[in-house]
Structure 1
Amino acid sequence: MYKAKRRLGLVFFPAFDWAISPTHPEREERLLYTQDQVFEEGILDIEGIREYRPRLASTGDVERVHICVPDVQSRTTESHLIAAGGAIVAAEAVLKGEVDKAFAIIRPPGHHSFRIVHGARGFCNINMEAIMLEYIRRHYGPKRIAIVDTDCHHGDGSQDIYWHDKDTLYISLHQDGRTLFPGTGFLNEFGGPNAFGYTLNLPLPPDTGEEGFLYALEHFILPVLAEFKPDLVINSAGQDNHYTDPITNMRFSAQGYARLNDRLQPDIAVLEGGYSIEGALPYVNAGIILALAGLDYSRVREPDYTPEKVAQSPRVSEYIARLCDESYQAWQQRDTLREEYIRGKKEISRRRRIFYDTEGLMETQQETTRVCHDCGGVTWIDSRTDQGRHILAIFIPRDACPRCQEEGHALFESSHTIDYPDGVFLQDRLEDKLFKK
């Protein structure tokens, strides 16, 4: 009998009852064609590959990561909670030692969901990987975790959630934000004052081909991971870099995705975007599954594949080589750069405008973080939307020192709802509680 070299767990959740519209590219067929391919190829009959059923994530699982306004029930459906629960099931299978790797092939996606959630943006309401990661840490102890986000769109939500967390290395490989939603993900987005250097972005030019993605993996991502030494590697597995994707401009193939996962060897992969429903996703997912299981993927090919469709110009190759070199140098100098960034400062603030494209809503955030040498630092955000909502959100990090925890609670107690009519929230990750008044 055909046997996997590495035991692999699969979780499927097509979310039959959730869609933005019947013809929207983010719809259930994204997964159904993959399921058909997996069944037809007999992949689930291979010894060592097993399917797991998803379960519901709890409200507490969501509140550990997000402040949903006004609450979780208003910002999620049952499908969102099952998708998040599916990611948790995949992680538990690995951490319990039942499998070596796991792939959560789920929807809706989540990597555009920020800490504060006023609605849907980039097809995302809540962040599946972050909910999974914080569940792991709550139930399996502290871990150094690396997220490698290979979605064509910058994972601005995942970046936001881990901006102040040096135990989570976030690396995003995406199409340049000057040419694609959400318009972020540049080299100077390097992390918050207490985790400076632990957010890394590679904004690739349009028409990047197979060569460029794999060059970035070998010359930037893998060397950084070797130095960071994570306990777990998570692939935020967007598949919209494919040469047939209708909303992006890249040139990756199913074979390329398989090779990337073969070299990266993530412990857990979680599906994100990818909207070439028939032309790409069944082949890409099959390639990833075989690569994770340690099986031969050399025959995985799209029906219309030609080498010309994944080729890139010498100019693009030169640009990517310079980009990787500059990014790697910055990573190696992160401690020096952090000292320059925080010198003489007790607090660091930033002001942002966040567009919810799915909702047609604009949020303005004024964020302030206490500079701290002992933890991620207490952070507070004054958040307003152009639809009239106004909240204060306070975040005490998972590794909070006594002073930052005390300051967070003092700020919560001294803030009044007369100033923030839609609520004052305190997310205390140390106590694993969300407070609201």
Structure 2
Amino acid sequence: MVTFILYPVYGIIKNKKNQPAGDIMPDSIKNIKAKNKLGLIFFPAFDWAISPTHPEREERLLYTRDQVFEEGLMDIDGIKEFNPGIAEEKDVQKVHICVPEVKKVTTPSHLISAGGAIKAAGLVLNKEVDKAFAIVRPPGHHAFRVVHGARGFCNINNEAIMVEAIRSKYPDLKIAFVDTDAHHADGTQEIFYHDPHVLHISLHQNGRTLFPGSGFTNEVGGPGAYARTLNIPLPPYTTDEGLHYVLDNLVLPVLEDFKPDLIINAAGQDNHYSDPLTNMKISARGYAELNARLNPDIAILQGGYSIESALPYINVGLILAMAGLDYSNVREPDFDSRNLTQDPVITDNIKNTVAVLREIWENRNNQAPVPDTGEFTIKNNFYEREKHIFYDTDGINELQRERVKACPDCPGYIIIDSRAEKGFRNTRIKAISIPLKACKNCHEEAHLKFEEAKKEAGNKYDYLYLQDVKGEEFVTYPSP
């Protein structure tokens, strides 16, 4: 097998004698066959950016695309590029309550990014490929169920939209997320917090030191989905060593117990040592090794803002790992292992965190009906909590009251009261959300609650929403 040493974006492949590959490159590439058939979906979103100089801009993927093609990876037998699809409005409505409506909080780029994720899942589930990697933007994992605007650079949650699209066709699949973005995947967590059929694991820089300020070990899922959420807050300056310790001693054992039908890597790349927004020390090779050992079916790009120094190398490493090819010589031009040694104090901190989470997981079936996490209270047969949500990108403050029906037969329907404030403008909405696995009684009761809520429309609320995922019915009242 040819061994690759990657150089800057204008990169060339060099052989083991460190000589430019020159004319031998095409023949060398043609002789490589991927062990896993891998589908790649690129979508740089040329016409979307928060601002021309914002970290979340189109150059994030242009350098990656150049690197992938210049290194000849697309000439490897078994690696194939596919065009993204376009998510439909109903795909978004299965996940989000967009205020006032989907088209007011999305652009075509958001719908194509979500469509790229859906396409990746379809390729795998239809057995066109063994694995798929959606290298798309805008990202999505900070978008909650209710969407008043953009937060964490995210308007809609592309990976959550993908999961609900999957479950429309395969409703009984057990799905596991492993999110490796440096920022806590708070949006994806919130969307599936009450769903026992989705396991969500997030490895991220400790929220006490980084946006969004959440993702602690006591956030373990709703009362009906206890331990289906696991958060691993990592200390700043965690290295490959710490990341792989968590993988080996927590993530892989939990996945072995859960036995998911589908593993999704939300492949954020801002844990890299050169990222300008974070304080972690993960290398491109460390990312590739994690992906190879995790062995996900699907990967979806999320964050990562070291546009030239990290993303091209991380993504090439991930592509090689997912294709089952050698990634051992993937390295950044400035890579120096001496700068990536982990402090023993950090190692001890990570080991303690893993021990806490292992205990939570191992005792997941021994909990009281309402686990004593301090997050929920129970009143009139509903679990209740309040959430304060800040939309850092759009400057919106939201106060949300969430009530979940305590049902022994299903995850229960959700009633949401939300008030969003931006400047002198306030928007108040009420939403009834019915999950895919709702029982007959909850399904009928939720519809009655929606009809009752219409009596309050106009006086108390600007809009009412029915999000019936089970019946695929989505109503906004009054129509915007």
Shorter-chain TM-score category? over 0.9
Specify the alignment match of 2:429 in structure 1.
391
Q: Say which of 356, 369, 382 aligns to 1:339.
A: 369
Matches within 5 A, 1:279-428: 279-341=309-371, 346-386=381-421, 387-415=425-453, 416-428=456-468
1:340 Cα deviation (Å)? 4.9
Matched residue SS, 1:335: coil
Distance 2:367 2:304 in 1: 36
Specify the alignment match of 1:226 in structure 2.
256
State the TM-score, normalizing by the size of structure 1.
Answer: 0.98
Kindly indicate whether residue 267 of structure 2 is the aligned counterpart of residue 237 of structure 1: yes
Specify the alignment match of 2:25 in structure 1.
none
Structure 1 unpaired stretches of 5+? none
1:338 Cα deviation (Å)? 4.5
Matches within 5 A, 1:20-99: 20-99=50-129
Matched residue SS, 2:433: strand
Specify the alignment match of 1:264 in structure 2.
294
Number of residue pairs matched by the alignment = 437
Distance 1:251 1:308 in 2: 12
- Tell which deviates more after alignment, 50-59 or 370-379: 370-379
Kindly indicate whether residue 431 of structure 2 is the aligned counterpart of residue 431 of structure 1: no
Matched residue SS, 2:37: strand
**Cα deviation digits, residues 345-385 of structure 1 (max 9, x gap):** 62211011100000011000011111112111111110001
Q: Which amino acid in the other structure matches residue 447 of structure 2?
A: H
Q: Which amino acid in the other structure matches residue 7 of structure 1?
A: K
1:199 Cα deviation (Å)? 0.7
Distance 2:171 2:397 in 1: 37
Q: Is the 8 A contact 2:223 2:371 kept in 1?
A: yes
Matched residue SS, 1:341: coil
Distance 2:79 2:171 in 1: 27
- Tell which deviates more after alignment, 252-261 or 425-434: 425-434
**Cα deviation digits, residues 162-206 of structure 1 (max 9, x gap):** 001010000000000000000000111111121111011001111
Who wins on radius of gyration, i.e. which is larger? 2
**Cα deviation digits, residues 304-341 of structure 1 (max 9, x gap):** 00112322100100110111011011011112234352
Q: Is the 8 A contact 2:235 2:346 kept in 1?
A: yes
Q: Is the 8 A contact 1:12 1:53 kept in 2?
A: yes
Specify the alignment match of 1:136 in structure 2.
166
1:344 Cα deviation (Å)? 7.8
Q: Is the 8 A contact 1:197 1:335 kept in 2?
A: no
Percent pairwise identity: 58
Q: Which amino acid in the other structure matches residue 396 of structure 1?
A: I
1:433 Cα deviation (Å)? 1.6
**Cα deviation digits, residues 243-281 of structure 1 (max 9, x gap):** 000000000000000000000000000000000000000
Structure 2 unpaired stretches of 5+? 1-30
Kindly indicate whether residue 197 of structure 2 is the aligned counterpart of residue 157 of structure 1: no
Specify the alignment match of 2:38 in structure 1.
8
Distance 2:224 2:459 in 1: 29
Q: Is the 8 A contact 2:238 2:281 kept in 1?
A: yes
Matched residue SS, 1:382: strand
Matched residue SS, 1:334: coil
Matched residue SS, 1:412: helix
Q: Is the 8 A contact 2:276 2:306 kept in 1?
A: yes
Matched residue SS, 1:388: strand
Q: Is the 8 A contact 2:180 2:268 kept in 1?
A: yes
1:429 Cα deviation (Å)? 1.0
**Cα distance 1:341–1:140, how it changes in 2: closer, same or farther (>3 A)?**
closer
State the TM-score, normalizing by the size of structure 2.
Answer: 0.90
Runs (4+) off by over 3 Å: 342-345
Q: Is the 8 A contact 1:196 1:338 kept in 2?
A: no
